[in-house]
Each structure stands twice: as C-alpha cells, then as structure tokens.
A = this chain, B = another copy of it.
C-alpha cells in the first residue's frame, strides 16, 4: 500500500466524489476510480459506497481516514526534516561583510561553520554596508555582516537584523608617543597629530563617525589596508582610529588607547538577512555561529 493511495483516498473522502478528487489531483476520473479499487482490494474492505451522485465513506472507510491523515502528516514531517538536513549537507552560503568585520569575527565564524558543514560551499565578499545591503536585496548574498553609525540606523523593515556587538573605536599611537602611557584619550588631545586614514578626510567612514563638529584633523597619510596604516603609526608617522574588530592582536610596537565615550559613539554590528525570505538552515546556523563568535570576543 502506498502513501500516494492514501492521499488519493483522503482527497476522495474530502470531496465525496471521485471525479472532483481527480480534478484536484490532475488525474482522470478513471485513474482515481481504479486507485480506490486497488486500495480496497489491497485492504480487503470496501471503503466507499458508490452513490448515484458521488461516494460515501463506509465504516471501514471511516476507520481508515484518521490513520491516513496521520501517516500523510508524518511523511510531511519527514520531508521537512530532511529538507532541513539537506540544507546543511549541500548548497551554498554567500556571505558579505564590512571590512573590519573581516579581520577576525567573520573569518572565525566561517571557519567554524566549515568545520561543521564541509559540504556547504562558502563565499565571502567584502564591501561597505550600503553595497552589502543591495547585494542582499538582489539575492546575490544570503547574509551580510554590516554596521551602522548611530546617526544612520538601518532599515529594520526590509531586513532581519541580528545584533552581534557594539563596536568601540580605539586610537593607535606609536609606543614612544607622548600619550602612550594613557588608557583613555580625548580627540582634542590629538588635534596636533597627523592622522593615518583609509581615505582623504570626510570620505573616511571612521573619521566621519568619530568627528565632533568643528574638529578638523590633519591627514598626511592615506593607506588602504590596516597593515599599512598600523605600520605607519608604528613608524611614528601619525596616529589612527582603529575599530576594535580590526585588531586581532596588539602589535608590540603600538599602543591602543580607548577614545573617551563622549568622543566616540559606538557602532552597532549586525548580521542582516532579507525580511520575509526563506532562510536556509545554513544561514540559521551561521547566524548562531556569528553570535557565539561575537560573544567570545
């Protein structure tokens, strides 16, 4: 006896008509009639009385119906559970992350994910938050690790946002710098220092986020990546604002100072997916991994 026959039986019972069930199931009436007859022969009972207009469940038919429904429901559960497992046994996971999240947080979470689910193909794209969100909406990414300065909150309606952490800004100064012994420093105390940034002036997101009104830093050096920036700082060519996420270990030739809370609004870091879209088990699993990684620091 096959579960398909039980589905047909259930549909006929619901409609009280072989012809109507055949219509719904996209069969001819004759095929359904024969399927019911075969099921009756298999079970050795008559399941329906054939009336002039339709069919009526017999006692054995009434006995079978709840069982049929239970079996079909169970098989639905099977399919759902295997779908969930399948999502982690194969497939792809396309991730985007903003630059400083790519220093440690995201790579570590991805490495753990790959250890657990080696069959899932991973890809990681770096970008700035606005571009990453576009990728999400376009379906080119499954998940993006993004950040938002306090003055530019993310659109909570179009995205599901999982808060990962609040990111602090640090100041990198060379070990011999006059402020090297401090723990916390104010921006005003750096007014005479040259800043090493990723881009010139107001274009740099870090500088813009940290900039109180009227403060105009001197920028003599622009370096694209953190190796270059921190190298310049260590050589005494200037100081730099550094997101905590970008620091995997404190280099021996640098000192990292905290910015005073009044000078450095805290950036919030989220893992974003598109609201209302099916989320694969892999995405769910990576979300959990990122959350754990953020907690572990």
Using a CB–CB distance below 8 Å, which chain A residues touch chain B? Answer: 1-4, 43-46, 49-50, 56, 58-60, 63-64, 67, 70-71, 74-75, 77-79, 81-82, 85-86, 89-92, 139, 276-278, 280
Contact = CB atoms under 8 A, between A and B. Distances in A.
B59 A86 contact: no
27 contacts: A1-B3, A1-B75, A2-B2, A3-B71, A43-B78, A43-B82, A44-B86, A45-B82, A45-B85, A49-B278, A50-B276, A58-B278, A58-B280, A59-B89, A59-B91, A59-B92, A60-B85, A63-B78, A63-B82, A63-B85, A63-B91, A64-B82, A67-B74, A67-B75, A67-B78, A71-B74, A74-B74
A276 B90 CA distance: 50
Interface of A is mostly: helix
Contacts of A78: 43, 63-64, 67
Nearest to A90: B63
A43 B278 CA distance: 15
A45 B86 contact: yes
Contacts of A77: 67
